[in-house]
């Protein structure tokens, strides 16, 4: 099986090295041999040794090379990558990609062309790097009905919240983000990570695989991290929770809920223990129950490992549905307003008699139960109240927050964090 590689950046370089360094072990696992034949690299000074390989600067020279059987797409982005992948498949070549945005945004079209041309597109590396979550959903739990998929699928966001919540506990979002950029955990433009877009791409793919649903990326509710304060993190900790950046996909009757946002997780839940840049994905299936996969979510070696796994599957002639199901169902996604969950509410109010009664009175009027409550004095003039509610519909919570905002004693708008 002859392979052409498009893109020799961080992941592509690691893949080239993996071919060389693990050659013996890889060959022991193969049904038919695989060889890296040609590489498309724009740089005159690549990060790895390309000696012995045919090298071009034109990625489409790879797709049009009749001697190649498989194209590995590692250039990123969606415009050129989409054209590259479609052209490769129309030329009768299988494709392996690590491009989550490509699959999340254009998966339906790509899978359709793959079926039409009788080729495969594999994308294990598109979600959670070195964690074999695609294989787990497509094969390992194929006999299960999946009820929920939830996890930490963006290492940058997890690092930021872990550091803000850590032993130091004195660095705000801006300071920790700058540290993450210095360490190489965050890009110069970190918006895709900290605004939740990267995680939304990934939960779109996982929902498609887990539920066999045709999922529109635009239907995912997405919230970022920038509004999270150290004050909230201290209260979250005192209430017995950790704050984690979760992507969550659940099925309720014939509808899905798809969301990405910071979420409070009880300290006795294993997800609360996943710190730093590590990823973790929890799958709840029937009859298997809950399983959790944990590992490195990004980085050249981990992602290259996932790409190689797909190449080995192709060499074995694995006849697997590209999207996990022979056919995806059209499934509606219910609004975040219809979500039912417990939430944390924090209000800063004037430190005067009767305010607590006013706050709890609004919640009681709207049939919102109170599971826990903390009141602290910020200073002589301001008191801080933190409340954990019972499970309530999001729309009712938001209406209550609007009512709380209108109180004359309110110092700043109330804050809300959902609870996992």
Alpha-carbon span 119 to 57, nearest angstrom: 25
Which residue has tokens 């094969």? 139
> Residue 155 half-sphere exposure, CB side, CA atoms within 13 Å?
23
Alpha-carbon span 420 to 409, nearest angstrom: 30
Given the DSSP bridges, would you call strands 382-389 and 221-222 parallel, antiparallel or unpaired?
Answer: unpaired
The residue from 93, 100, 135, 202 that is catalytic is 202
The helix (H) or strand (E) run that includes residue 396 is helix 394-405
Judge whether 281 and 128 are in contact, CB under 8 Å. yes
| Count of beta carbons in the 10 Å neighbourhood of residue 67 | 9
Task: Tell me phi and psi for residue 103, to 5 degrees.
Answer: -70, -40
Q: Which two tokens stand for residue 112?
A: 């359709």
The radius of gyration computed from the CA coordinates of the chain, to the nearest angstrom, equals: 24
Catalytic residue status for 202: yes
Judge whether 383 and 355 are in contact, CB under 8 Å. yes
The helix (H) or strand (E) run that includes residue 105 is helix 100-117
Catalytic residue list:
202
């Amino acid at each position: 099986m002859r392979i052409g590689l498009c893109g020799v950046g961080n992941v592509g370089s690691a893949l080239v090295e993996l071919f060389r360094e693990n050659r013996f072990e890889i060959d022991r696992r193969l049904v038919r041999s695989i060889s890296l034949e040609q590489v498309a690299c724009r740089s005159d000074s690549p990060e790895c040794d390309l000696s012995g390989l045919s090298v071009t600067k034109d990625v489409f020279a790879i797709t049009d090379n009749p001697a190649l059987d498989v194209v590995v797409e590692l250039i990123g982005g969606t415009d050129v990558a989409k054209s590259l992948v479609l052209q490769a498949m129309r030329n009768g070549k299988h494709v392996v990609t690590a491009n989550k945005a490509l699959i999340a945004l254009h998966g339906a079209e790509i899978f359709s062309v793959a079926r039409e041309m009788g080729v495969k597109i594999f994308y294990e590396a598109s979600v959670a790097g070195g964690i074999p979550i695609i294989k787990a959903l497509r094969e390992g739990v194929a006999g299960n009905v999946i009820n929920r998929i939830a996890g930490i699928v963006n290492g940058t966001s997890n690092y930021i919240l872990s550091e803000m919540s850590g032993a130091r506990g004195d660095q705000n979002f801006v300071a920790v983000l700058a540290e993450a950029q210095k360490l190489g955990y965050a890009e110069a433009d970190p918006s895709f990570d900290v605004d939740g877009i990267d995680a939304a791409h990934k939960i779109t793919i996982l929902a498609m695989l887990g539920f066999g649903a045709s999922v529109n990326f635009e239907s995912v509710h997405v919230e970022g991290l920038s509004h999270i304060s150290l004050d909230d993190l201290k209260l979250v900790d005192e209430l017995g929770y950790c704050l984690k950046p979760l992507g969550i996909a659940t099925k309720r009757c014939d509808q899905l809920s798809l969301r990405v946002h910071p979420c409070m997780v009880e300290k006795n839940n294993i997800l609360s223990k996943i710190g730093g840049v590590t990823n973790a994905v929890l799958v709840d299936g029937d009859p298997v129950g809950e399983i959790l996969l944990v590992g490195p979510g990004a980085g050249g070696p981990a992602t290259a490992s996932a790409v190689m796994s797909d190449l080995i599957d192709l060499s074995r002639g694995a006849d697997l549905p590209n999207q996990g199901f022979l056919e995806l169902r059209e499934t509606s996604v219910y609004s975040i307003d219809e979500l039912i969950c417990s939430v944390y509410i924090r209000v800063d109010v004037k430190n005067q008699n009767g305010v607590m009664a006013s706050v709890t009175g609004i919640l009681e009027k709207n049939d919102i139960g109170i599971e826990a409550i903390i009141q602290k004095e910020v200073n002589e003039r301001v008191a801080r109240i933190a409340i954990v509610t019972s499970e309530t519909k999001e729309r009712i919570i938001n209406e209550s927050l609007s009512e709380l905002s209108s109180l004359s004693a309110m110092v700043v708008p109330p804050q809300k964090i959902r609870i996992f």
